[in-house]
A and B are shown apart, each in its own frame.
Chain A
Amino acid sequence: QVVESGGGLVQRGGSLRLSCTASGFTFSHYGMTWVRQAPGKGLEWVATVKQDGNDKYYVDSVKGRFTISRDNAKNSLYLEMNSLTADDTAVYFCAREVGLGSYGVGYYFDIWGQGTRVTVSS
């Protein structure tokens, strides 16, 4: 399973660090992802980090502001969020990515957490 933490209320322009702790599987063998859902909106992919922590992908709207990272020794995934705006208000989910071979073919998110809520106030 995966369990998110670190959400809360933050002022516009502020920063927040989300964490996701994994258990029950070999964390270092899997890519990990953050997905968010803003109030009344659908799911939106935020960022993915590959197994070794070197390959990272971000949605355009968070590039330069968010940083995804992981600590395989601690079975933990992080999302450092800076320069937060009201558009970042959402529930943030951590998910495990499964797949081998050509990226995008046969890849999917199979284990999800309950989410942690981030509210950016103006």
Chain B
Amino acid sequence: QSVLSQPPSASGTPGQTVTVSCSGTFSNIGSNTVNWYQHLPGTAPKLLIYSNNQRPLGVPERFSGSKSGTSASLAISELQSEDETDYYCSAWDDSLNAWVFGGGTKLTVL
């Protein structure tokens, strides 16, 4: 059971907007910033969103992040087939003194 809660799966058709949620507690999301990673199994994970809503250079504007209280969200607009992979949220937990990840959301592009 992961400390951060994500839906195990999400889906959408090309061109749609899909949102992935990440729920935590005061000691992690409520107190610290949230990061999102994109991971195609067998490859290196990729930083997608950092500090709640910042995009690293090279990440398309289609990807956006937000945070409110103890929850965060990743939105992917103009969905493309290449977006079909796994997405993870993560934050530092002040109580556990540890980095925590969500269980991951597998995105399917129909």
Q: Which residues of A contact B (CB under 8 A)?
A: 33, 35, 37, 42-45, 48, 57-60, 93, 95, 98, 103-110, 112-115
Contacts and interface: CB of A to CB of B under 8 A. Distances in A.
Nearest to A46: B99
B50 A112 contact: no
Given A104-B92, A110-B56, A45 B99 contact: yes
B88 A109 contact: no
Interface in B1-32: 2, 31-32
B50 A110 contact: yes
B31 A104 contact: yes
B39 A43 contact: yes
A33 B45 contact: no
Interface string B36-60: 0101010111110011000010000
Contacts of B33: 104-108
Contacts of B56: 110
Contacts, number: 75
Contacts of B93: 104
Contacts of B37: 43, 109
A35 B94 CA distance: 18
A35 B35 CA distance: 15
Given A98-B50, A105-B32, 13 more contacts: A42-B102, A42-B103, A45-B90, A45-B100, A93-B44, A104-B92, A104-B93, A104-B94, A107-B33, A108-B35, A109-B45, A109-B47, A112-B47
Nearest to B56: A110
B63 interface: no
A98 B43 CA distance: 21
Contacts of B110: none
A95 B102 CA distance: 17
